[in-house]
Amino acid sequence: MATRSLAAPRAGIWPWLGLALVILILDQFTKTLILGSYKLGDATYITSFFNIVRAHNTGAAFSFLADAAGWQRWFFTAVGVAAAIFIVWMLKSHPGQKLFSFAMAAILGGAIGNVIDRLMHGYVVDFLDFHLAGRHFPAFNVADSAITIGAICLILDELRRVRKAR
């Protein structure tokens, strides 16, 4: 007679893919609003430290390689697709690790959101502009935010894992 484990059932990959999809939809929805409402360079003052702007980024984070001859569009698209495939594989391998899977799902949703932009427009649409004392942080978007939160959660997950191992 088989016995059932008293441990919680192992979560599958689908909730994590669902989270990635929610992030992707939110990212693309907000970018569609910006593209429909703003011309390149337009800005709306929100607070003394935050504006909504329309910016195009042909490079990677912080406009890395934005001034390259155009090859970077396809390079960063390929990197995003490869990352997405790797992340799905990692989610299939570790679906029960909640913080790790949350981090991977956030990065997946953000990466796909930016890949879609590169394929559709040739650039990533950025619109969140934080600034202080006249100095502006590079504009970013929901996808970038999800990737950043995911990276922070990966670091926290690893620190937690190292602490448990001691």
Evaluate whether residue 32 is within a structural domain.
Answer: yes
Residues 33-44 have pLDDT tens digits of: 999 999 999 999
If one counts the domains in the chain, the total is 1
Cβ-Cβ contacts under 8 Å for 89 (sequence gap 6 or more) = none
Evaluate whether residue 4 is within a structural domain.
Answer: no
Distance CA 128, CA 149 (A): 15
Cβ-Cβ contacts under 8 Å for 20 (sequence gap 6 or more) = 105, 106, 108, 109, 112
Residues 77-131 have pLDDT tens digits of: 999 999 999 999 999 998 789 999 999 999 999 999 999 999 999 999 999 999 9
Distance CA 139, CA 65 (A): 16
50 and 129 Cβ atoms separated by less than 8 Å: yes
Q: Is the pLDDT of residue 6 over 90?
A: no
Can you give the pTM of this predicted structure?
0.87
Which residues are paired to 43 by β-bridges? Answer: 53
Residues 104-114 have pLDDT tens digits of: 999 999 999 99
Helices (H), 4-124: 14-37, 71-93, 98-121
Residues 30-73 have pLDDT tens digits of: 999 999 999 999 999 999 999 999 999 987 766 666 566 667 77
Distance CA 71, CA 16 (A): 32
Evaluate whether residue 151 is within a structural domain.
Answer: yes
89 and 165 Cβ atoms separated by less than 8 Å: no
Domain that holds residue 151: 14-38+55-165
Evaluate whether residue 7 is within a structural domain.
Answer: no
What pLDDT score was predicted for residue 38? 98
Active site residues: 126, 144
